[in-house]
């Protein structure tokens, strides 16, 4: 299988993205995996009483779309995530199509670590989440 990029192959400014629509089924399955049955995700009647006025997707669903970016694209196969930071800026709703993007902002060749700026935008190009990841690319 094709190994990801090593730290020497990675350049500041490199970026990669993954996009996917968030389905009702994703919310159901995320509940199954995590036990997070918060009524703001699972109870339409309750959701009408919240500031969002409708059910919203778990933040972790959109958040996790960065995983295929880091682990399968940039740096790619063999990457180990050390730390991630995520800010939640706007709600993600069922039916939204989210694009998760990682962009290299610095690298430390001695420690073999790369810092990437993360953004998550919806189909209207609205920034719904932002963050940073520190990862170790695969070694040569």
**Least Å distance between CB 107 and a copy of itself?**
19
**Spatial CB neighbours of 11, under 8 Å, sequence gap ≥ 6:** 104
Q: Which is nearer to a copy of itself, 28 or 109 (CB)?
A: 28
**Spatial CB neighbours of 46, under 8 Å, sequence gap ≥ 6:** 39, 40
User: Quick check: 33 and 83 in contact, CB under 8 A?
Assistant: no
Q: Which is nearer to a copy of itself, 39 or 106 (CB)?
A: 39
User: Quick check: 6 and 65 in contact, CB under 8 A?
Assistant: no
Q: Which is nearer to a copy of itself, 10 or 22 (CB)?
A: 22
Rg (CA), the chain: 17
User: Quick check: 81 and 47 in contact, CB under 8 A?
Assistant: no
Q: Which is nearer to a copy of itself, 15 or 68 (CB)?
A: 68
**Least Å distance between CB 104 and a copy of itself?**
19
**Least Å distance between CB 24 and a copy of itself?**
5
**Least Å distance between CB 66 and a copy of itself?**
9
**Spatial CB neighbours of 35, under 8 Å, sequence gap ≥ 6:** none
**Least Å distance between CB 9 and a copy of itself?**
19
Q: Where do contacts with a copy of itself occur on this chain (CB under 8 A)?
A: 1, 18-21, 23-40, 42-46, 50, 55, 58-61, 63-65, 67-68, 71-72, 77-78, 80-88, 95, 97, 123
């Amino acid at each position: 299988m094709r190994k990801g990029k090593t730290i020497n192959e990675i350049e500041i400014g490199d970026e990669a993205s993954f996009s996917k629509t968030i389905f009702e089924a994703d919310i159901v399955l995320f509940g199954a995996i995590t036990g997070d049955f918060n009524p703001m995700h699972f109870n339409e009647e309750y959701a009408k009483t919240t500031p969002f006025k409708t059910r919203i997707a778990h933040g972790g669903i959109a958040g996790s779309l960065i995983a295929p970016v880091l682990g399968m694209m940039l740096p790619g196969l063999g990457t180990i995530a050390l730390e991630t930071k995520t800010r939640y800026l706007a709600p993600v709703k069922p039916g939204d199509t989210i694009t998760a993007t990682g962009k290299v902002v610095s690298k430390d060749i001695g420690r073999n670590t790369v810092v990437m700026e993360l953004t998550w935008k919806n189909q209207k190009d609205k920034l719904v989440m932002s963050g940073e990841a520190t990862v170790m690319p695969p070694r040569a």
